[in-house]
Structure 1
Amino acid sequence: MIVLQASHLKKSYDGVEVLVDASVIIRAGDKVGLVGGNGAGKTTLLKLITGEEQPDGGTIAKRDGLQMGYVSQYVQPDADTTVYQFVAEAQKPLQLMEAKLRELEAKMADPNVYTNEQRFADITQTYERAAHQFEQAGGYAWQTNVRRVLAGLQFAAEMQPLPISALSGGQRTRLALARLLVQQPDLLVLDEPTNYLDTDTLAWLEGYLKHDEGSLLVVSHDRYFLDEVTTQTIALEDGITRHYPGNYAAYVLQSQQEREQQAKLYEQQQEEIARLESFVQKNIARASTTKRAQSRRKMLERMERVERPRGDGPSVRVEFEPRRPSGRDVLQVSDLTIGYSHHIVAQHISFHLERGMRLAILGPNGAGKSTLLKTVVGLLPAHTGQIKWGQHVEVGYYDQEQSDLDDTKSVIDQVWDERLDLDETSIRKALAQFLFRGEDVVKPVSGLSGGERSRLNLCRLMLRQANVLVMDEPTNHLDIPSKEALEQALTDYSGTLLFVSHDRYFIDAIATHIAVLEPDGLVKYLGNYSDYREKVAENERIASIEQSVQNAKEHTRHPATADATTSQPSTRRRIRSSDVRKLQDEIEKWERTTAELEARLTAIGMEQSEAAAMQDIDRIRALEEEREHVEQACHQALEKWEQASLQLEMLQSESD
């Protein structure tokens, strides 16, 4: 069933065409990725679909009663409510229904009601109907779902009572996303939802969206996210959309095959045109062949021409070439403590960089990754510890905050003032590699977009010719072609790289080593992001299996006190062939427990309706108390089930 169809949309601003012929078809359950370069019109298309703006031409048809939810890139929720209240408001209808139930329960508990049998019967019948509607709408599980989504998006229980005014901009954006997920619309429309999310949160969001039954339309530059979530891809280029089945990787392959096929047809037709034109030119003047030449000329006039394959358009060209190589030992960090004035962020940080290593620093938002980089390059003082750079090391630093750009300068002056040894032609040539051409080079830095500022900083970094690059979120604000160009440049780079990124596709392509920043040091892994995930999954399986063994032993020895031992640490050991079955048994156990508790919640709703019909006040109260306990147990079981399910998913991905 089609839930939304946009046909031949057109949109222009101040005479500049943004959308020329854009069409979108979304069916129930489709997960659609919308891709295209910066400025291609993706956000404009979303605004037309969601009704924020109106198209200049074309039509948009929606299924009757379609519930659409939209979170744009920039969101400022109401700061007068708490974190939990803001997300819970997405279930306002259920809250009102629940409040009505509590009101009816209070009326039934009033002794004065018993004096009027008809009035009591009316109230209990009303309660019976309301309880049934509440149960049918999933009302007995809505609070569990709110807590589950908040926890998944890194809003722990202690954060949920906080006012929104206490949150950062990135946290507010995540909170708006949480509210939308709880709302569970028929069609979810997301514009760059992966911004401000760390890798663990991204993995959770991917799992949530993949298993959500609703439809999805998402704009994202995160190729890893698109590959994990989407089942359809729409490419927007030059204001025109093209549809492809499959995720981003499938789209790239199909698009390349299309270009190759069109190039082949174009070349074949050009050869045929050249042959016909040559025949006409040689034979048009001869009486004996002029009719055949005229026939060939008409054939040329009627021929439907194959368009020349469109190139990829202007793209960034990045080349990092060190002025000279560094020594073998590049950096030694020993027992480092980082933070600000009176606030320690992390401590006991030690690691070693050798020439040619590419070390990616991972960790949750707020762990101190950017602080670590700034401390290493000397922009922040270390609290304690030692930072020792090797011989002949020349460091180039890329700041995600772009704080070292001078908004009072022009683009060319920003670069030229740092490389006075170069002439204007060389500076313009370097800027052209980053798409600053002609009048673009005299633009004020203050007027640049986020993507342009990123490209300008990459140009400055390239010209420094450093043999060590320290980069903080270098792919932020870059479109996919620019990311791919940066990846290729860093792959070819002969120097050493220390970087922070939440772009897992980028990390996978670049990193030779991974280090996870924790409050008490770094945990190091050999390999790229995929290797790191495999190792983490292996460690989690071992820990889970041994915890299960420990729990089983405790249940055997002390059944009554087993719950108190579930948090005891375990010693890791090698996985036996039977370990997989044990893990699957534990997953099935939590799945059964969750299903049983949810079934009990449904049954409680029905029993409350029956108790209301029988005017059994004591029973109604007892069921209400039981409902609260079961909801809490369901929430805990659901968390255990989700954790176990993630471990199983990782295991299955390894076996693939």
Structure 2
Amino acid sequence: MVLLQAVQIAKSFGAHKVFSGLSLTVQEGEKAGIVGVNGAGKSTLLKILTGHLAPDTGEVTRVRDLSLSYLAQGGGLDSEKSIWNEMLTVFTPLIDMEKQIRDMEKQMEDASPVDESVNRQLLENYDNLSALYKSRGGFTYEASIRSVLSGLKFSDMDLATPVNTLSGGQKTRLALARCLLGEPDLLILDEPTNYLDMDNLAWLEQYLQSYRGAVLVVSHDRYFLDALAKVIYELTPAGLTRYTGNYSAFIQQKAVLLEQQLKNYTRQQSEIARQEEFIRRNMAAKDTTKRAQSRLKSLEKMERLERPGQERRVALSFNVVRPSGMEVLKVQNLGVGYTDLTLAHGLDFQINRGERVALVGPNGIGKSTLLKTIAGLLPSLEGQVTLGSHVQIGYYDQEQQGLSGDKQVLHELWDRYPSLDEVDIRTVLGRFLFRGDEVKKYVRDLSGGEKSRLTLAALMLQKANLLLLDEPTNHLDLPAKEVLEEALDGYPGAILFVSHDRYFINKTATRVLELTTDGLSSYLGNYDYYLFKKSEREQLENENRCTSAEPAREESAEKKQYLQKKEEERQKRMRRRRVEDLEQAIADLEENISRLEAELFLPEVYQDYQACRKRQEEIEEARRQLNDHMEKWLSLVEG
């Protein structure tokens, strides 16, 4: 069933056309992602789909009574309520229903036994409302709140904390929690992975994979889209194109489509050139003028294909002035933090030339602080950092604090490299998509993505042989991330980087360092291999804990086979006895339920609120036991 459909929608702001002719369909239970470069209009599209903006032309239709939740990009909650009370607002209808049930219980308690018809109707209404309350999660909504808050890292917080005292990132995570708790038919999320660490991301992926409703999400997180999406929509200046599959499938299909479009365009251009040459040679000749005119008319009517759009892409490459020695960086017993706060201590690791090391760990553990300490921007609390021979550090700051807001883009770069002339600086800025008058923009007026590109341009010109990168993919769109990955792949120096972008880590890292409260753990390989080895280690540790300290005595193969056969026979006998016991218990419970249900219609019961309630509780308990016994019986019979 189609939940939402947009047909030929267009939107402009003044003279600026954002997009036109876009069509999109969201099916029941579908998980779809929207990708595109920064500024393509993805957030605007979501606002139109959710009714927060009206399209200039076109139409958006939604199925009747569609429940929809929308998380805007950076859309944090602004509330004076506590965290817990704010989450309870999602379940206001259930809470109101619970109050009705309590009121009905009070009415039954105070009811006169004389009016049997009124009491019978009240009891029936009470049963119906109680069943509805239970089916809608009346007994589980508080557990759902705690589960979602735990998954989004609120479990360690005091849930009485007022929402308006939280940080921006926490408010955004709380807004996401409220969207998820509503369990709508359609979730529309704009960059939901912002402000989430890797544990949060893994939890959100699992939650949404098993989510029964449909999900439409805008995201730059390719790992997230690979795990969740079954459909990808790409928004470009040419329109909205639908691809079936996850992000990796989209990349493959897009490459095939682009290749075919280019072939068609090239073939048509060759045909046009051939026809134009024929017309040129034959138009003036008396015998062939009509043929030439006929071909000219055909050529004029031909629907011309546009050259497949080549996206404006950053042209990035990293090189070094001078290679370093084999040992690039050695950290010994290092403590990092601030005078009043130690974030990590006793850190030991080494990085060699050519290594690409990803530093991962929960937010606040000290990853960025460690990079700043190695870069010399912060003093170490203990231990030492030793650089190898001829090592030159290039540091990328995720906050871009090194940029001067009162400078123009041109002079921000030129002042750092005054030996270059203006043409060289403009050429470099052009490679990073700053062209024409864009180089005269003031740094303070740049977007997050533009500041990231400017910082990367300065880093490229530095030609350092050790790169310390702190969240380099933040604010970059997908094409820019891909260019950065390609540039780092060909870089001859060493890299130590912090990133929450798991796709980027997978493509770039040759080793993963995990920073926890217990210290550093090293894993050779990329992010997927790190997850595999970490899971393997945890499983091994669990097995070691469960293994008995007393060594098992060796037994002969024949004895083992005999004992195994005897054990299997014993298990079969036990299973038969258990099945018989369960069948008898099920029969007893079914008889008991029938007896209790019949008693509900006795005058001395339905006229007595306490007796009626007691029978209802006994019936519910008997049914619970019956379901439990039936599940056990099925598992034994089928096993």
- State the TM bucket, normalised to the shorter chain: 0.7 to 0.9
Q: Distance in 2 between matches of 1:80 and 1:303?
A: 64
Q: How does 1:116-155 map to 2 (within 5 A)?
A: 124-155=123-154
In structure 2, what is the equivalent of residue 188 of structure 1?
187
Classify 1:614/1:354 alpha carbon distance in 2 versus 1 (closer, same or farther; 3 Å): farther
CA contact (8 A) 1:348 1:520 kept: no
Cα distance 1:627–1:353, how it changes in 2: closer, same or farther (>3 A)?
Answer: farther
2:416 counterpart residue number = 418
Q: Does 1:174 align with 2:173?
A: yes
- Give the Cα–Cα distance (whole angstroms) in 2 for the partners of residues 155 and 542 of structure 1: 30
Instruction: Give the greater-gyration-radius structure (CA).
Output: 2
Specify every segment of 5 or more residues in structure 1 that has no aligned partner in the other structure, as ranges.
554-603, 632-656
Supply the AA of the counterpart residue of 1:464. Q
Residue 229 (structure 1) aligned with residue 228 (structure 2): yes
Residue of structure 2 equivalent to 1:561:
none
Residue by residue over 1:427-483, the C-alpha shift from the partner in whole angstroms, topping out at 9 and shown as x without a partner, is 111111111111111111111111111111111111111111111100000000000
Is the contact made by 2:76 and 2:174 (CA closer than 8 Å) also made in structure 1? no
2:92 matched residue in structure 1: 92
Corresponding residue for residue 471 of structure 1: 469
Give the CA deviation at 1:288.
2.9
Once residues 382 and 329 of structure 1 are traced to their aligned partners in structure 2, the CA distance between those partners, rounded to angstroms, is 21
Secondary structure of the residue aligned to 1:140 is: coil
The answer as to 2:285 corresponding to 1:286 is yes
Cα distance in 1 between the residues matched to 2:153 and 2:119: 47
| Amino acid in the other structure paired with 2:48 | L
Alignment-derived partner of residue 73 in structure 2: 73
Helix, strand or coil at the partner of 1:139: coil
* Compared CA separation, residues 472 and 129, structure 1 to 2 (3 A): same
**Equivalent residue number for residue 3 of structure 1:** 3
Root mean square deviation of aligned Cα: 2.9
Quickly say closer, same or farther: Cα 1:12–1:403, change in 2 above 3 A.
same
Closer, same or farther: CA 56–326 of 1 in aligned 2, 3 Å: same
How far apart in 2 are the matches of 1:113 and 1:543?
A: 62
One-letter amino acid of the counterpart of residue 89, structure 2? E
**TM-superposed deviation, 1:412:** 1.3
CA distance in 2, matches of 1:617, 1:150: 38
Q: Distance between the aligned counterparts of 1:469 and 1:98, measured in 2? A: 59
1:617 aligns with 2:615: no
Letter matched to residue 438 of structure 2: D
The aligned amino acid for 1:164 is V
Alignment check: 8 A CA contact 1:22 1:239 kept = no
Q: Distance in 1 between matches of 2:617 and 2:99?
A: 13
CA apart distance, 1:46 = 0.5
Could you say which structure has the greater relative contact order, defined with CA pairs below 8 angstroms and 6 or more residues apart?
A: 1
Alignment pair present for 1:497 and 2:495:
yes
Name the CA distance, whole Å, in 2 between partners of 1:98 and 1:436: 60
TM-score normalised by length of structure 1: 0.82
- Tell me how far 1:92 sits from its aligned partner: 1.7
Q: CA deviation at 1:542?
A: 3.2
Give 2:413's aligned amino acid: V
Moved more, 456-465 or 162-171: 162-171
2:349 maps to amino acid: F
- Secondary structure of the residue aligned to 2:145 is helix
DSSP-derived class of the 2:469 partner: strand
What letter corresponds to residue 177 of structure 1 in structure 2?
L
CA distance in 2, matches of 1:615, 1:404: 78
Aligned to 2:427: 429
Quote how far apart the aligned CAs of 1:165 are: 3.5
Q: Give distance in 2, aligned partners of 1:619 and 1:153.
A: 43
| Aligned-residue offset at 1:547 | 6.0
TM-score (norm 2): 0.84
**DSSP 3-state at the match of 2:5:** strand
Q: Could you tell me which residue of structure 2 aligns to residue 200 of structure 1?
A: 199
After superposition, the Cα gap between the structure-2 partners of 1:295 and 1:76, relative to the gap in structure 1 and judged at 3 Å, is closer
Question: Which residue identity lines up with residue 507 of structure 1 in the other structure?
Answer: I
Is the contact between residue 323 and residue 466 of structure 1 (CA under 8 Å) also seen in structure 2?
yes
Quote the Cα distance in structure 2 between the aligned partners of 1:511 and 1:371. Answer: 20
SS at match of 2:131: helix
Aligned residues: 574
Distance 1:627 1:177 in 2: 36
User: Per-residue displacement from partner, 1:21-52 (whole Å, max 9, x unpaired)?
Assistant: 21111111111111110000000101111111
> Identity percentage over the alignment?
46
For structure 2, the residue ranges without an aligned partner over 5 or more in a row are 552-592, 625-639
The one-letter code of the counterpart of 1:326 is: S
Give the 3 Å change call, closer, same or farther, for CA 613–207 of structure 1 in structure 2: farther
* Structure 1 residues 296 and 120: alpha-carbon distance in aligned structure 2, compared to 1, 3 A threshold: closer
Residue 400 in structure 1 maps to residue 393 in structure 2: no
User: Letter of the aligned partner of 1:186 in structure 2?
Assistant: D
Q: Distance in 2 between matches of 1:106 and 1:213?
A: 37
